[in-house]
Structure 1
Amino acid sequence: MFSLDPEVAHLNNGSFGAVPRQVQRAQDLLRAEMDRNPMRFFTRGLPARIADARRQVADFLGAAPGLTALLPNVTAATSVALGTIDLGPGEEVLVTDHGYAAVTSACARRCREAGATLTEVSIPFAATDDEVTAAMLGAVGPRTRLAVVDHVTSHTARTLPVRRLCAELARAGVAVLVDAAHAPGMLPEPVAGTGADFWIGNLHKWAFSPRSVAALVVAPRWRSSVRPLALSYEDSMGFPAAVEWQGTLDYTALLAAPAGLAMLAELGLPAMRRHNSALAAYGQRVVAEALDLDPAGLPGEEALAMRVIPLPVAAAPDEASAVALRERIADELRCEVALNFWRGRPLLRLSAQVYNDEADFDRLAAGLPGLLR
């Protein structure tokens, strides 16, 4: 069902996903239609077709279509959300040390431009939901304007209690941006009930959409304030159309996103989630045991298709060496993994998707100890 190289163990679906062949074909048909008559494609009903795709995506996420926009990725959605907040000098934005670097960097730039302060909240690797909530609320001050929290953390592969955080922070008068890059497809109806001011998630990781498709969901009170990244002819239409329409772009990825959702339904999403979670747990166990680590002491959540394994600091003592080690694992073991340098040590992150089986993880477990030595 996929175009992946069969000689490689693809254990990093969490970074770029894998587009199924039938979704590729759906996008290819749309591209052919666009190139056969560009004038007709762009000028006759394209906004309505995007709106239909948006509706299907919103339904899948548990969101309202009128409060949802489709964008290329979470990076772009972050910039739209940050541009909506009227941040002033001396005000504060909270992020966590589990946050994705690109999102944190966007927050830092927004704070520099506004004369605001960026504060990073430290959350222990295995903190409980109570401890996470206490750390975030303890960092809130009289000038705190926005908090950015992950639904599923990228480096550490855990969930944060976003529904609880959104409720508690709202009571403190703080807006919340939920970075849910990994949530669509991995978690059922991830938007429903969060109460987030802004919720952003990628569909090309776990929801089988083409690259790149993301959703931005805004709370009703922000709808009229959202500004598109680029001003185009559709600005008069307001959110979400004004945010989606960016002139002569290739919109075929957005239009083909429902084909990915249809494939998830065909395969049976609940069964897929159980398969992926169990397989990720298997991979964590066999690789940990191969490295003489106790799997019982490693974090892992049943709802997630990702697991992490801390590696010895000597294996990759800095960011550059972590990149080099990841590339050696790819070249010498023929295994694609994520390897992040977090809090002074390398974290190996393993993903499991329907194209994986136990043999993929067994290969990594067999080869990694020798490579590290």
Structure 2
Amino acid sequence: MSGPPFAPACLISGEPARGAWDFGAGIVPLNHGSYGAVPRAVTELQGRMQARADRSAIGWFPHTPAWVAQARAGLAGFVGAAADEAVVAAFTRAIGPRTKLVVVDQITSPTARILPTARIADVAHAAGARVLVDGAHAPGLIGDAARVAGGDWWFGNLHKWPSAPRGSALLVTSAADRDELWPLIDSWHARLSYPERFDMQGTLDVTPYLASPMAIGWLEENYGWARARATMTANADAAADAVAEAVAPYLDGVGFVRLSVHLYTTAADIDAFNDRAVPLLVEWSREPGAGRPAPS
């Protein structure tokens, strides 16, 4: 790889970050942004929780509301319950007197562009519209993501960059009518106010949520979130340069390749992508329709 060096991430212990995740032999993980990847320490904690629930359901489910409340308090600090003028102008033109709700990405999924959601929210609120910020990719990539978003409602996934178990996410709202939010499953806590009425929904497995504070704490203790953001950003830039260099001889026009770079990503992963995936992308781009091949 030429261009900026791809810096291998090591934990505070000095061990390579890659070793904290259990990937199958021969697997090159480059799509963390879609499905995430959970560190071994967090999956072990979740497994212990699930085993405890299986050993004694009556000793587990009645206590989950209190544990969920503890997890919610622990996660709140993580999300913190230069504006792009062209984007703001586009929303300003689109929002009119009939606009009731604006839904906007905090980080766009296909291009990883950070949108000026607080500025957009100001425009929408001035027009009498409310704003829902889709912060699916924001936790872990943007510090205090919920606080800086500026919407009436914000939600973000924890299974992506925070590497929490799948199924864990956060909803943060300052809306005056937030007490009108109800879970899809009515249960014993239905008479409680928001958010407590969400804390017990039948026999829903809440272990992903309960293990989420550990996932966030584990990375902070073993690497540091500010340092992690800087490392992932630098290595994503290095990976982008390497892939651009690999596809440049074949590219006629504009193309997009989405790569997700986490702490466990190595330069060897990017080299493997260039060696194996780039030739396939070039081959597919030359097929009629230039789209993804149909599944066989």
TM-score (norm 1): 0.67
Task: Say what the alpha-carbon RMSD is for the aligned residues.
Answer: 1.9
Q: d(CA) in 2 for partners of 1:293 and 1:61?
A: 42
Match of 2:44 in 1: 25
Q: d(CA) in 2 for partners of 1:148 and 1:293?
A: 39
Q: How does 1:91-102 map to 2 (within 5 A)?
A: none
| SS of residue matched to 1:178 | strand
Verify the 8 A CA contact 1:229 1:243 in the aligned structure 2.
no
Q: Report the residue type matching 2:44 in the other structure.
A: R
Match of 1:367 in 2: 276
The yes-or-no answer on 1:61 pairing with 2:79 is: yes
Q: Report the residue type matching 1:61 in the other structure.
A: V
5+ residue gaps, structure 1: 64-127, 295-310, 314-344
CA distances 1:198-256 after superposition (whole Å, capped 9, x unpaired): 10100000112111100011114132221222222211112112234221111111111
Q: How does 1:111-150 map to 2 (within 5 A)?
A: 129-150=84-105
Q: Which has the higher strand share?
A: 1
Deviating beyond 6 angstroms after TM superposition, the runs of 4 or more aligned structure 1 residues are none
| SS of residue matched to 2:100 | strand
| SS of residue matched to 1:352 | coil
Question: Which protein has greater RCO, CA pairs closer than 8 Å, 6+ apart?
Answer: 2
| SS of residue matched to 1:216 | strand
| Cα 1:15/1:369, change in 2 over 3 Å | closer
Match of 1:92 in 2: none
Q: d(CA) in 1 for partners of 2:162 and 2:55?
A: 29
Q: d(CA) in 1 for partners of 2:194 and 2:153?
A: 13
The structural deviation recorded for 1:260 is 0.2
Q: From 68, 87, 100, give the equivalent of 1:50.
A: 68
Q: d(CA) in 2 for partners of 1:19 and 1:292?
A: 34
5+ residue gaps, structure 2: 1-19, 284-296
| SS of residue matched to 1:234 | coil
Match of 2:123 in 1: 168
Q: d(CA) in 2 for partners of 1:293 and 1:220?
A: 52
The yes-or-no answer on 1:283 pairing with 2:192 is: no
| Cα 1:370/1:224, change in 2 over 3 Å | closer
The yes-or-no answer on 1:14 pairing with 2:25 is: no
TM-score (norm 2): 0.83
How many pairs were matched up?
261
| Cα 1:213/1:132, change in 2 over 3 Å | same
| SS of residue matched to 1:255 | helix
Q: Report the residue type matching 1:251 in the other structure.
A: V
